[in-house]
Amino acid sequence: MEARKIGREEVPASRKISAVAFQYGFDCKVGESDPYPFGHMDMWGAFDGGGRMMSRMDVLHHTAYLDGHEVGSAGIGGVATLPEYRNMGAVRAMISAAFGDMAARGQCISQLFPFDFGYYAKFGYGAYFERIHIKARMEALTDAAGFVRNGDCTFVDSKDDVRLHGLYGRYAAVRNGALKRDGRLWGDRLSDNAYLRRLYPYVYSGRTGAPTGYFVFSPENDCMRIVEICYECLDDIKGMLGFAKNLDRQFTHVIVHELPAADDFSLALPDQKLMERTLHYSSMARIVDVGRVLGLMRYPMGKGGFSMSVSDPSIPANEGLFEVRYRDGVATDMERRPAGTAASGKAAPTRPGGGPDMEVAVGALAMLVMGTDHIFSRRCGALPGLRVHANHKALGEVFVRKDVFLGDHF
């Protein structure tokens, strides 16, 4: 079996694999003229001994935010295998080969939207973005609860509006996993023809008159479906929904989609019987370069350190004992030693026998680094592949819950 990037002439075969695997209509004549999307992505294929393409996937090249830094991120999407080749290791071969390419590009994380969380956990990905979906009747948005139109909402008919870009940029920069949007990504989310796609963006200006948020909605039968909402605080959400309820003659319900769980406003609704709320994970991340990520992380103020042993069967360069020292928010020194090596004690007092402060599988480490939850929360305590032995105070200050977000699908 061979796994490699495919060329322009192999794109039609790749498209056909997707059509067969997902059973969607595909015009082969049109597909053969599809341009190869050089630049922002690569297509990969796995081939059998006879040279037939068995499986395919896309790797998109993004810039994402991690603790305030802009980092290279590889987005995995469009993974498909012909039915007769399933369970033969084709996807594993492609992903394993792609990991090497990601590292060569300097991409230190990878993200995806899984069809099966357990399947991608085998490749070192961990679920990190917990989002909520709230569906409420318009009458639930009462003035008494603060859902009041206390500012202006202005319709925007261009995806290139600088207010949208500025608001999203500030919102994304402080949320781990969020993508830095370029023109292509904005084109995927919005359109210059909002009227045709029926995607309606509104910029919200609060009491000060300055823009503090925006939302984009699409009509869905009797529901006003908010597909993206960006804000600085809970009052902005309430203000935008206060405007939304003016459309109660057209819509009986409002749906807020893709809201980070940390920003759940449902408890502000006075009558819980008038709303439905679901909570679930939507995306996964994995660390491609553990050393670089540990060097970029935001650390506590003051002075400290820790040691940890990382296991990563898919990327051997990530395995080993890492000792990290930090001061006033940044890493000052990091040393990686081979797996099984005793800790030196430079970063933190050593345990008897020189064992690390913690042992962690790379998928669990991704969840801790991204900030899914505090390391000593009950949820993280149940993570497979995580064992904490010592230095609890320092680890509890390093691996804390953070704001996370990923609204761009691929």
**Ranges assigned E (strand) in 1-140:** 2-5, 41-47, 53-66, 69-81, 107-112, 126-137
Under the banding of pLDDT at 50, 70 and 90, the label for residue 346 is confident
Amino acid at 86: R
Bridge partner residues of 152 (DSSP): 205
Between 28-32, 111-115, 399-403, the lowest mean confidence (pLDDT) is in 28-32
pLDDT digits (tens, 9 = 90+) for 184-210: 898 888 877 777 788 999 999 987 889
Tally the C-alpha atoms within 13 A of residue 147's C-alpha that lie toward its C-beta.
21
For residue 136, pLDDT beyond 90:
yes
Please tell me the class of the 2-112 domain.
Answer: alpha beta
Q: How far apart are CA 158 and CA 211, in angstroms?
A: 16
Write down the pLDDT at residue 393: 95
Please tell me the class of the 131-283 domain.
Answer: alpha beta
In the 8-state DSSP scheme, what is residue 400? -
Taking Cα atoms as reference points, which of 94, 97, 64 lies closest to residue 77?
Answer: 94
Q: How many helices (H) and strands (E) does the chain have?
A: 12, 17
Taking Cα atoms as reference points, which of 118, 78, 111 lies closest to residue 285?
Answer: 111
The two domains 131-283 and 289-398 share their CATH topology (first three levels equal): no
Under the banding of pLDDT at 50, 70 and 90, the label for residue 36 is low
In the 8-state DSSP scheme, what is residue 381? H
Q: How far apart are CA 248 and CA 147, in angstroms?
A: 14
Write down the pLDDT at residue 27: 66
Q: Domain boundaries in the chain?
A: 2-112, 131-283, 289-398
Under the banding of pLDDT at 50, 70 and 90, the label for residue 29 is low
In the 8-state DSSP scheme, what is residue 176? B
Structure tokens at 408: 């761009």
Give the pLDDT mean for 65-74.
Answer: 98
Taking Cα atoms as reference points, which of 114, 126, 106, 123 lies closest to residue 63?
Answer: 106
Write down the pLDDT at residue 365: 97
Structure tokens at 381: 């305590």
Q: How far apart are CA 377 and CA 393, in angstroms?
A: 14
- Please state which CATH number belongs to domain 289-398: 3.30.1050.10
Amino acid at 144: A
Write down the pLDDT at residue 353: 73
Tally the C-alpha atoms within 13 A of residue 163's C-alpha that lie toward its C-beta.
19
Taking Cα atoms as reference points, which of 220, 167, 146, 159 lies closest to residue 190?
Answer: 159
With tokens 């430079």, the residue in question is 346
Write down the pLDDT at residue 38: 58
Q: Are strands 303-311 and 275-287 parallel, antiparallel or unpaired?
A: unpaired
Q: Residue length, the chain?
A: 410
For residue 5, pLDDT beyond 60:
yes
130 vs 24, higher pLDDT: 130
Taking Cα atoms as reference points, which of 36, 157, 45, 140 lies closest to residue 98?
Answer: 45
Helix (H, G, I), strand (E, B) or coil at 112: strand
Under the banding of pLDDT at 50, 70 and 90, the label for residue 406 is very high
**Ranges assigned E (strand) in 243-362:** 253-260, 275-287, 303-311, 320-327, 330-337, 358-361
Q: How far apart are CA 327 and CA 88, in angstroms?
A: 48
Give the pLDDT mean for 268-273.
Answer: 89
CB neighbours of residue 234 within 10 Å: 13
Q: How far apart are CA 133 and CA 122, in angstroms?
A: 28
Tally the C-alpha atoms within 13 A of residue 342's C-alpha that lie toward its C-beta.
8
Looking at every residue in the chain, the average pLDDT score rounds to 92
In the 8-state DSSP scheme, what is residue 52? -
CA-CA distances (angstroms) from residue 72 to 112, 154, 359? Answer: 14, 34, 26
Q: How far apart are CA 352 and CA 15, in angstroms?
A: 57
Q: Are strands 107-112 and 53-66 parallel, antiparallel or unpaired?
A: unpaired
159 vs 68, higher pLDDT: 68
The set of residues, in sequence order, having a beta carbon less than 8 Å from that of 192 and lying 6+ positions away, is 157, 158, 159, 160
